[in-house]
Amino acid sequence: MTTTNTHKTRRTFAIISHPDAGKTTLTEKLLLFGGAIHLAGDVKAKGDRRRAHSDWMKIEQARGISVTTSVMTFEYDGCTFNLLDTPGHEDFSDDTYRTLTAVDSAVMVIDAAKGIEAQTQKLFEVCRLRDVPIMTFVNKMDRETRDPFELMDEITEKLALDVTPMTWPVDQGKQFQGCYDLRKDQMILFGDAKKEKKGSLPGILPCQGTDDAKLKEILSDDQHAKLVEDVEMVKGLCPEFDLESYREGHLSPVYFGSALKDFGVQDLLDGIKEFAPSPRPQETESREVNPDEPKVSGFVFKVQANMDPNHRDRIAFMRICSGTFKRGMKLLNTASAKTLSISNPIFFFSQGRELADDAVAGDIIGIPNHGTIRVGDTLSEGEKIMFTGIPDFAPEILRRVRLGDPMKAKHLERALHSLAEEGVTQVFRPMLGSDWIVGVVGTLQLDVLKDRLDAEYNLEVDFEATQYITARWVSASGEKANDNLKKFIDSNRASLGEDRDKTPVYLARNNWDLDRAQSDYKEIKFSEVRERGR
Ligand code: G4P
């Protein structure tokens, strides 16, 4: 890395949005500004192909593409930006949630014609769980849009989030003139509008407030009058920008722009650099780990296997939480109690991978391994700590796996475990019976699972409906925890299974069953989310 190697210069973030809001286009433009790519089109091509289910799977199989875009590192103005990709398809997977546990902030992209859409809201809720600070980018201002005030209201109401516009648009669609920068008091002219005026106007016009004569020259009377009125209203209605409130996740600074037309992207990038937090302290089961600590620690939020079908390799994505990692270091995996020598760690640039010689808190390194590292694992320089917070979510779709060739049962078991460790699926084994049950959050995950079992493990499977609607992890605490749990298990074997770590799960046939079990066994906890280590 070329910038100063301190975690203070790191901005590790994700973009959250509903499909089609412009995440891919914005990503591409951010990378262009960061000099990470020179050809527009790299990322876009992926966005296009990703839309079709079958094509999306092809990409999943062509591991290279999927992985180089899982994390993209670029530099801009003395900072290193680590952009983590949250899958953009409509189906949700646990992977998306886990990726969001590895970022320090997020950018929420909203289509100016549509406002807050379902997927944006879901992803926002996940960010809120961890108080991840959010910047908002209102995209597609070069098209017909909704009224910006209406959009601000919608964010405030639907997400219960305060907003502070950092820029304010002047007109929209074909008439879009650019934005007034409310903090710096300057007009940022939109390229197309500038071209139309044919003058040699600079891109940015410093102003003495909205009454500035320069503004009257370049805007129509109506546009100018509206800008004056709007800015007054914004100042009256929206709270002033407050860094602390943003960093605590209560307030979102808002930028307007057009990713497609390169407008507003630099303002956003400058905003991330200036306001977004550098790596934050992270919780472990025993103590908080500060990024300033000298010893290396980190957690694995994603594992991707079989990136190269010729080698059964796996890459574990580790977010560094403290210390300065050096290539060749030996790190302890708390969960397995094994010490691993990290000799070939990699960084992910959009052009490809590079050997990682050193990395600091906030950086993501890829660690090739043969199944010794799992999602949720903590690696450290010897201290037995366990980062908390990487969740498994109760699956909403449970299917029984039917194997084409029954002779391959052992092989299936290994494949399912391996894919479960990657987070592609969850696996359960009913306490009575020998079939495997897979659990997923969205149906697309089932297609991917079937496809990968076939392509990578040579296993033909089908999925059959089960009588189960969801699963809950069961546990007990307190003095008689073991007795209570045993009693519950003994009386409910037919409705119980175990997950891949042999943790008991209640497989519910319907909500009524679940409610009854919960009221009959008050001493048992039924959890929708399971945090394994993290
Ligand atoms: P996604 O990753 O969030 O799914 O969105 P993506 O960037 O792929 O953008 C979805 C569509 O919106 C694309 O159009 C893209 O060109 C367009 N788009 C993105 N940002 C802007 C913007 O600022 N202004 C305008 N006018 N359009 C924008 P498409 O027709 O689906 O693809 P393409 O044929 O343009 O490539």
Q: Considering the domain boundaries, does residue 346 fall inside one?
A: yes
Does position 390 have pLDDT exceeding 90, yes or no?
no
Q: Higher pLDDT residue, 198 or 291?
A: 291
Whether residue 67 is predicted with pLDDT greater than 80 in this model: the reply is: no
For ligand 1, the distance from its centroid to the CA atom of residue 263, given in whole angstroms, is 14
Co-location of 168 and 265 in the same domain:
yes
What would the two tokens of residue 143 be? 């098209």
| Last residue within a domain, chosen from 275, 294, 324 | 275
pLDDT band at 443 (very low <50, low <70, confident <90, very high): confident
Ligand 1 center to residue 105 CA distance, Å? 23
In a domain, 76, yes or no: no
Q: What pLDDT, on the 0 to 100 scale, is given for residue 350? A: 54
Grade residue 349 by pLDDT with cuts at 50, 70 and 90.
low
Distance 22 CA to ligand 1 centre (A): 5
Residue whose Cα lies nearest atom 4 of ligand 1: it is 20
Q: Kindly report the protein residue whose alpha carbon is nearest to atom 24 of ligand 1.
A: 140
Q: What is the pLDDT of residue 75?
A: 87
227, 253, 275 - which closes a domain: 275
- Which residue owns the Cα nearest ligand 1 atom 32? 48
Mean local confidence (pLDDT), 406-424: 88
Nearest CA to ligand 1 atom 17: 22
Residue 197, helix vs strand vs coil: helix
292-319 per-position pLDDT tens digit: 999 999 999 988 876 655 556 788 999 9
Q: What is the mean pLDDT of residues 160-176?
A: 96
Q: Are 113 and 254 within one domain?
A: yes
**What's the whole-number average pLDDT of the chain?**
86
| Dist CA 264 CA 15 (whole Å) | 15
Q: Which residue has the higher pLDDT, 231 or 72?
A: 231
The parent domain of residue 431 ranges over: 391-531
Does 174 score more than 70 pLDDT?
yes
Using CB atoms within 10 A of its CB, is residue 400 exposed (0-12), middle (13-18) or buried (19+)?
A: middle
Which amino acid residue places its CA nearest to atom 28 of ligand 1? Answer: 260
Residue 313 · residue 303 · CB < 8 Å: no
Query: What pLDDT was estimated at residue 39?
Result: 43
Res. 85 pLDDT band, cuts 50 70 90: confident
Give pLDDT, residue 304. 80
The per-residue b/e assignment along 369-383, b for 16 or more CB within 10 angstroms, e otherwise, is beeebbbbbbbbbeb
Residue 129 and residue 246 in one domain: yes
Same domain membership, residue 200 and residue 166: yes
pLDDT over 50 at 55, yes or no: no
The pLDDT value given to residue 163: 97
Q: 119-136: per-residue pLDDT in tens? A: 888 889 888 888 999 999
Q: What is the rounded CA–CA span in Å between residue 205 and residue 219?
A: 12
Whole-number pLDDT of residue 534: 37
Residue 465 included in any domain = yes
Instruction: State how many domains the chain has.
Output: 3
Boundary of a domain, candidates 211, 245, 275: 275
Residue 20 has pLDDT above 50, yes or no: yes
- What sections of 210-348 are H helices per DSSP? 213-218, 221-237, 243-247, 265-275
Using DSSP, state whether 350 is helix, strand or coil. coil
Would you state the torsion angle of the CA atoms of residues 147, 13, 21, 393, taken in this order, to the nearest 10 degrees?
A: -110
Q: What is the dihedral of CA 391, 395, 400, 404, to 10 degrees?
A: -60
Q: Which residues line ligand 1 (CB under 6 A)?
A: 17, 19-25, 44, 47-48, 88, 139-140, 142-143, 258-260
- 71 within 8 A of 13, measured Cβ to Cβ: no
Task: Determine the pLDDT at residue 353.
Answer: 64
Q: Is the pLDDT of residue 144 over 90?
A: yes
Q: Which of 16, 18, 20 to mutate to test the pocket of ligand 1 (most atoms within 8 A of CB)?
A: 20
- 3-class DSSP assignment, residue 442: coil
Q: Which of 125-134, 176-185, 523-532 has the highest mean pLDDT?
A: 176-185
Which of the four pLDDT bands, split at 50, 70 and 90, describes residue 371? confident
**Which pLDDT score, from 0 to 100, does residue 111 have?**
98
110 Cα to the center of ligand 1, angstroms: 12
Pairwise pLDDT comparison (352 vs 517), residue with the higher score: 517
Confidence check: pLDDT of 2 > 80: no
* C-alpha–C-alpha distance, residues 67 and 165, integer Å: 35
Q: What is the CATH number of the domain that holds 302?
A: 3.40.50.300
Task: Answer whether residue 193 shows pLDDT above 70.
Answer: no
**Least confident among 36-45, 80-89, 113-122:** 36-45
Q: What mean pLDDT comes out for the span 353-371? A: 85
Of residues 401 and 48, more confidence is placed in 401
How large is the average pLDDT for residues 71-92? 79
Distance 528 CA to ligand 1 centre (A): 36
Residues forming a β-bridge with 366: 317, 346
Ligand 1 mean position, distance from CA 523 (Å): 52
Residue 107 CA to ligand 1 centre (angstroms): 17
Res 394: pLDDT = 79
Residue 186 in contact with residue 215, Cβ under 8 Å? no
Return the residue whose CA atom lies nearest to atom 33 of ligand 1: 48
Domain for residue 86, yes or no?
no
Nearest alpha-carbon partner for 108 in 9, 274, 249: 249
Round to the nearest angstrom and report the end-to-end CA distance of the chain: 28
Lowest mean pLDDT of 206-215, 433-442, 485-494, name the range.
433-442
249 phi, psi to nearest 5 deg:
90, 15
Q: Report how far residue 64's alpha carbon sits from residue 70's, in angstroms, rounded to the nearest whole number.
A: 10
- Least confident among 16-25, 49-58, 305-314, 489-498: 49-58
90 lies in some domain? no
Which CATH number does the domain housing residue 416 bear?
Answer: 3.30.70.3280
Q: For a pocket test of ligand 1, which of 25, 26, 190 has the largest count of ligand atoms closer than 8 A to its C-beta? A: 25
Q: Are residues 372 and 397 in the same domain?
A: no
Report yes or no: 10 and 347 within 8 Å, Cβ to Cβ: no
Q: Are residues 526 and 486 in the same domain?
A: yes
My answer on whether 252 and 160 are in the same domain is yes
The answer on 234 and 133 residing in a single domain is yes
Q: How far, in Å, is the centroid of ligand 1 from the Cα of 347?
A: 28
**Which of 56-60, 127-131, 527-531 reaches the highest mean pLDDT?**
127-131
Q: Examine residue 293 and state whether it is found in any structural domain, yes or no.
A: yes
- Please report which confidence band the pLDDT of residue 51 belongs to, taking 50, 70 and 90 as the band edges: very low
Q: Which two tokens stand for residue 444?
A: 């697309």
Give the Å distance between the CA of 21 and the centre of ligand 1: 7
- Within 10 Å of residue 153's Cβ, how many Cβ atoms? 14
- Which residue's C-alpha comes closest to atom 11 of ligand 1? 20
Q: Are residues 488 and 367 in the same domain?
A: no
> Residue 42: in which H helix or E strand, if any?
helix 42-50
**Over 60: is that where the pLDDT of 175 sits?**
yes
Atom of ligand 1 nearest to the CA of 27: 7
| Cα–Cα distance measured from residue 58 to residue 49, given in angstroms and rounded to the nearest whole number | 9
Does residue 180 sit within a domain?
Answer: yes
Minimal-distance CA residue to ligand 1 atom 34? 48
Judgement on whether residues 323 and 467 belong to the same structural domain of the protein: no
Please tell me the distance between residue 257's alpha carbon and the centre of ligand 1 in angstroms.
Answer: 13
Protein residue whose Cα sits closest to atom 9 of ligand 1 = 22
As a whole number of angstroms, the distance between CA 43 and CA 351 comes to 11
Q: Give the distance (Å) from ligand 1 centre to CA of residue 108.
A: 15
Please state, in angstroms and rounded to a whole number, the distance separating the CA atoms of residues 324 and 6: 8
Same domain, 30 and 102: yes
**Residue carrying the six token digits 């594992």:** 303
At residue 309, the pLDDT reads 56
- The minimum-distance atom of ligand 1 relative to the CA of 17 is 3
Going by alpha carbons, the residue nearest to atom 14 of ligand 1 is: 20
CA dihedral 409, 415, 418, 420 (to 10 degrees): -80
Q: How far is CA 189 from the centre of its chain?
A: 32
CA 20 to centroid of ligand 1, rounded, Å: 6
Percent share of the chain, pLDDT over 90 = 60
- The answer, yes or no, to whether residue 456 has pLDDT greater than 90, is no
Q: Which of 87, 19, 36, 15 is nearest to 276 (CA)?
A: 15
pLDDT for 307 equals: 61
Read off the pLDDT of each residue in 34-45 and give the average, rounded to a whole number. 51
Residue 336, number of CB atoms within 10 A of its CB:
12
Q: Which of 246, 16, 14, 27 minimizes the C-alpha distance to 109?
A: 16
The answer to whether residues 108 and 187 belong to one domain is yes
Residue closest by Cα to atom 25 of ligand 1: 140
**Pairing relationship of beta strands 162-165 and 134-139 according to DSSP bridges:** unpaired
Distance in Å, CA 47 to ligand 1 centroid: 9
| Nearest-atom index, ligand 1, CA of 261 | 23
Give a yes or no: residue 46 inside a domain. Answer: yes
pLDDT, one tens digit per residue, over 264-273 is: 999 999 999 9
Q: Which atom of ligand 1 is nearest to the CA of 259?
A: 23
What percentage of the chain exceeds 70 in pLDDT? 86
Render pLDDT for 234-272 as a digit per residue (tens, 0 to 9): 999 999 999 999 999 999 999 999 999 999 999 999 999
